[in-house]
Amino acid sequence: MPSARFTNVLIANEVVQNIMAGSQFEFVGRPARVQVYSLAEATEDVSIEVFFGQELQLSNSPLNMGAAATLGPTVPDDLIVDDIAAPGDRITIRLTET
C-alpha cells in the first residue's frame, strides 16, 4: 500500500489550498481505500478539510495537537479520514492556520 508524508509550516492566517498538489497520489487511478492521518505542533491552531473529488470527507476540523508532531502522526490514534475514493477523484487536503 503506497503512502506519502507531507510536512508544512504555516504562518498566521495562511491557507494551503491542497497539500497534495503535484503529488503522484493527487489523483486516484482506481478504486482505493484512502486513510488520512494528521497532527499539528502544540503551538499551532490549524484546521483541515478533506475532499475526495467533489465529496467532502471532513469539514473544517481542528487538527490533533502533539508535542512531537515532527515525528508524524501515530497510527491509529491520529486517523481523521478512512474511506474509499473513486477512480479519477482528486484528493484535496486544505490546511488553514488561524
- The number of domains in the chain is 1
Q: Are 72 and 39 in contact (CB under 8 A)?
A: yes
pLDDT tens, residue by residue, 52-77: 999 999 999 998 887 665 678 888 99
Is residue 20, in this structure, part of any structural domain at all?
no
Grade residue 6 by pLDDT with cuts at 50, 70 and 90: confident
Cβ atoms within 10 A of the Cβ of 46, count? 21
Is residue 4, in this structure, part of any structural domain at all?
no
Q: Domain range spanning residue 82?
A: 29-97
Is residue 15, in this structure, part of any structural domain at all?
no
The whole-angstrom separation of Cα 91 and Cα 83 is 12
pTM: 0.90
Mean pLDDT of 87-94: 98
Is residue 23, in this structure, part of any structural domain at all?
no
Is residue 9, in this structure, part of any structural domain at all?
no
Is residue 84, in this structure, part of any structural domain at all?
yes
Is residue 56, in this structure, part of any structural domain at all?
yes
